[in-house]
Amino acid sequence: MCRHLAYLGPEVALGRLLNEPEHSLVRQSWEPRRQRSGTVNADGFGVGWYAEGDPVPARYRRSGPIWSDLGFADLARVVRSGAALAAVRDATQAGADGEAAAAPFADGPWLFSHNGAVRDWPDSVAPLAAALPPRELLRLTARTDSALIWALVLQRLRAGDPLGAALAEPVREVASAAPGSRLNLLLTDGVTIAATAWGDSLWYLADARVGRAVVASEPYDDDTRWCEVPDRTLLTATRTRVELTPLKENSP
């Protein structure tokens, strides 16, 4: 379900990152190479990016397929950024939430995406939702599993957790409540990227010499330096380093 990508590095036009590579995120919307569930990601898309001197990212999201949006193609040609997160969506369940259900979700300096699905949604995770403050439930922007996971992550970010920890605990909680869920999460604040591999593919491409890190559901080209992240792993990356940490499920 879905494909996503986060980038940190030298300033680049969004089109060079998302449109131009041979197996770009745009192409992955209709022809993913390593997607384990679903074949077409046409239920919306979005991109968030950071402008120099502004910690709050801008976003462009739509409810239709990315390949049909001529406005996005024009925007991507001219907008440049040194940090971005983008996603194309294959909906877990059909719904009427439109672009509100499309990643990236955002709050303050953070951008977030979920590639996967919560098994037996929503009943399996009802206790996790009930444990959230009512005001957080009222602020959910969509009636989706991804929006609930974002609320769980955001609660930890606001409490001061670093990006990696803010992803790791919600993954363990949801996996414990809904075994068999696919929980590949992607998060950035424009300085660091955190991601989880849990049930679907995740890769990274890093070059410390130029200060670049790309984390993606799958490689967008055939560069031999792409590295696959093992399943049940937390990845954290800056422009100059990548760290991988095994993730374990919570004990019963």
Given the residues 1, 2, 125, 128, the one annotated as active site:
2
Is a pLDDT exceeding 80 seen at residue 29? yes
| 2 annotated active-site | yes
How much of the chain exceeds pLDDT 90, in percent? 85
> To the nearest whole number, what is the mean pLDDT of the chain?
94
Annotated domain spans of the chain: 3-246
Topology of domain 3-246 in CATH is Glutamine Phosphoribosylpyrophosphate, subunit 1, domain 1 (3.60.20)
Answer yes or no: are the C-beta atoms of 230 and 195 closer than 8 Å: no
pLDDT score recorded for residue 77: 95
Residues 236-242, mean pLDDT to the nearest whole number: 98
